[in-house]
Amino acid sequence: MYRNIQLLRAAGALLVFLHHVREHYANIGGTNPVLKGFMDFGYAGVDLFFVISGFIMMHLITDGPEHERVPWKFLGRRLVRIYFWYWPCLLLGYVQLLLAEPGRLAQVSVLDSIFLTSITPDRLIIFVSWSLSYELLFYAATSLLLFVRATWVPRIVTAALTLQIAYTVIAPYQEGTFLAFLVSPFNIEFLMGCQLFFWRRAVARYGHEVLLLALAAFFIWLGVRFAITSTLMRVPSFGLGALFIVALALRLEARGRFVAGRALVAAGEASYTLYLTHLAFISVFVFADIGAWLARIGGLGREIGFLAFVLAMVWLCIIVNRHVEMPLVRWGHRLFRLNGSTRRTGNSLATRATIPP
């Protein structure tokens, strides 16, 4: 397990939360300049997620359990991982929408929300779930790699990355179309994460922490300096920044200079829950008058109270991940017989009876 990758997953989810809570933080008189900076550009947590997703997908089909190299099992496990926890959270999101934003109900599509068939946030009950549609596309593309020889995969990834960059530079981008979804610039971030996986040993051996940090800081600065929000321009700014952050995390872990502890890893494992439920937590913050109470306290007490709320949210997500989310996902794997491992026989895959932990 790449422990620092789990840390970055938690960081990505928290960035998105901070971005969506920024107005409420301002309303209570929050003054922490560091937090406010993260809040303004916290949407870049999604770019970090896409890079991490590419890295993890290549790890699964290359170094993961053998059943991850069976196409239908790989794709089935990804679908269970997405939907079996998304649907319960969708019910929570619907309740949150009824109570906190009833005016938005007329805009949403229940079918698009259930099946994640739209990337338009206003059409989705949980509006941040637009990114999951891209994740489903990434998973489908990764499953196709399981039909070719493993030695071809790095070359296919490099070719796909090159072609996607060329297409993005040459072709006009019309956001909102189905074609734009299929060949979205976000594909570059995913493919950069895939490519990084195949360069991981070189990064661990030859990467320089100061250089990686400087490159990450430079590209993130570009995104902040020009307040970039468009899909097209996020890639050469926040996307590249995310790439070098992940590379730095890998380098630090490989050299033993920083390895995420158990609490940080647990937060990373709960990042999906945090991502899907943070809007409900924000509603609690507002409608339970927690924000109003912190505003009355003011000063340092207000800042400490806000951070305590964030920590409590993360802790609750960790508990839910361990005792509800993951048992539900494991049940889904058993239900569809997606456990077990396989062995390669020549260029084919044969199923074994063993079940890995």
How confident is the prediction along the chain (357 residues), in pLDDT tens digits per residue?
A: 799 999 999 999 999 999 999 999 999 999 999 999 999 999 999 999 999 999 999 999 999 999 999 999 999 999 999 999 999 999 999 999 999 999 999 999 999 999 999 999 999 999 999 999 999 999 999 999 999 999 999 999 999 999 999 999 999 888 888 999 999 999 999 999 999 999 999 999 999 999 999 999 999 999 999 999 999 999 999 999 999 999 999 999 999 999 999 999 999 999 999 999 999 999 999 999 999 999 999 999 999 999 999 999 999 999 999 999 999 999 999 999 999 754 433 333 333 222 222
The answer to whether position 356 is within a domain reads no
The answer to whether position 55 is within a domain reads yes
* Spatial CA neighbour of 244 closest among 187, 162, 189: 189
Query: Coil, strand, or helix at residue 208?
Result: coil
Contact indicator for 25, 306 with CB cutoff of 8 Å: yes
Q: In what helix (H) or strand (E) does residue 342 lie, and over which residues does it extend?
A: strand 342-345
Those residues whose C-beta lies under 8 Å from the C-beta of residue 141, and which sit 6 or more positions away, are none
Contact indicator for 157, 200 with CB cutoff of 8 Å: no
What pLDDT is stored for residue 245 in this prediction? 99
What pLDDT is stored for residue 93 in this prediction? 97
The β-bridge partners of 351 are 342
How many domains is the chain partitioned into structurally?
A: 1
Query: Coil, strand, or helix at residue 219?
Result: helix
**Rounded Cα–Cα distance for residues 135 and 272 (Å):** 12
The pair of three-digit structure tokens given for residue 334, joined into one six-digit string: 């058993």
Give me the domain span that covers residue 258.
3-351
The answer to whether position 175 is within a domain reads yes
What pLDDT is stored for residue 270 in this prediction? 99
Quickly tell me which residue has 């009833």 as its tokens: 102
The answer to whether position 64 is within a domain reads yes
* Number of Cβ atoms within 10 Å of the Cβ of 77: 22
Q: Is 339 left (phi over 0), alpha (psi -120 to 50) or beta?
A: beta
What's the pTM?
0.94
**Rounded Cα–Cα distance for residues 63 and 298 (Å):** 51
What pLDDT is stored for residue 33 in this prediction? 96
What pLDDT is stored for residue 349 in this prediction? 30
The answer to whether position 250 is within a domain reads yes
The answer to whether position 357 is within a domain reads no
Those residues whose C-beta lies under 8 Å from the C-beta of residue 219, and which sit 6 or more positions away, are 236, 237, 238, 239, 240, 241, 244
What distances in angstroms separate CA 95 from CA 30, 90, 92, 174, one per listed residue?
A: 28, 9, 5, 34
The answer to whether position 178 is within a domain reads yes
The answer to whether position 17 is within a domain reads yes
